[in-house]
Amino acid sequence: MARNFSPHVLSICRLEVVTMIWLVWDQRNRCIFDGAMARSSHTLAQFWTLMREANGCNIGCMKNTFFDLSVLSAFGIISRPSKAPFSICIRWQPPPLRFIKVNVDGGVTGAPGQLTGGGVFRDNYGVFRGCFAMQHGSGFAFVTELATTFSAIEITFDKQWLHLCLETDSVYMVNIFKHLTSLVPWRLLGQWHMVHHLMGDMQIVVWHIFREGNASTDRLTRESVDG
């Protein structure tokens, strides 16, 4: 069972046992040799004081679980969460100069289910330039990711924004554009060929972003379900 405890909780449990044994032994000796009266309230107060002081020692970190947090909170111990092995700063980055950046995202309710998608356009100063949301019938998630991206390129071309930075949280979609593969669903082949032709007159860069950095587009996509 001890193997399931984190170093922090295991150290605290051992300290509790040793501290309580020592306090009871000390109180017994005082009663026998000094004639003092046993006072449980005094012993418990000493116990809690010693436990809080012991927490200042380097006794490891807790597991980031509800169990560990509950145990430490029950004894009034300040928790020491384990640090993440690494961290990534996720935030919206502006596109290069003269580029328009579109963040696209697709969503599906079910598998297969209703397909929705949307995109948000910003320039290299972060100024909002427009957005769109649409539905793509029914199917699977990768279909709406591609259909939404194709629509974003068509909108961009119509507005003559010929320098486009395309950002998505779909690795599948990034690979489609970086390798210009024709392995797309048959229902989108016609649109893919047309978009591929438009891309010949455009300068397009494709970036991947984690979902946490694509929150505004994700919200727009979810809203389009209700629309």
Bridging pattern class, strands 128-139 and 163-168: unpaired
- Name the pTM for this structure: 0.61
Between CA 190 and CA 210 the distance in angstroms is 29
> Length of the chain in residues, anyone?
227
pLDDT of residue 181: 66
pLDDT of residue 161: 94
Instruction: Identify the residue whose tokens are 């020491």.
Output: 80
pLDDT of residue 164: 95
CA-based nearest residue to 64, from 38, 43, 46, 82: 82
Q: Tell me: the pLDDT tens digits for 164-223?
A: 999 998 888 888 888 776 678 888 888 888 988 999 999 999 999 988 888 888 888 877
pLDDT of residue 1: 47
Q: What is the pLDDT along the chain (227 residues), one digit of tens a residue?
A: 445 677 777 777 777 788 888 888 888 888 888 777 777 777 777 777 777 766 666 566 777 777 777 777 777 777 777 676 666 778 888 999 999 999 999 888 777 778 888 999 999 999 999 999 888 888 888 888 889 999 999 999 999 999 999 999 888 888 888 877 667 888 888 888 898 899 999 999 999 998 888 888 888 887 766 55
Strands of the sheet with 203-208, listed across from one edge: 128-139, 113-123, 100-110, 163-168, 203-208
Amino acid at the residue 212:
E
Handedness of CA 160, 166, 168, 172 (dihedral sign): positive
pLDDT of residue 101: 96
pLDDT of residue 113: 77
Q: What is the DSSP string of 69-132?
A: HHHHHHTTPPP-BPPPS--------PPSTT-EEEEEEEEEEETTEEEEEEEEEEETT--EEEEE
pLDDT of residue 132: 92
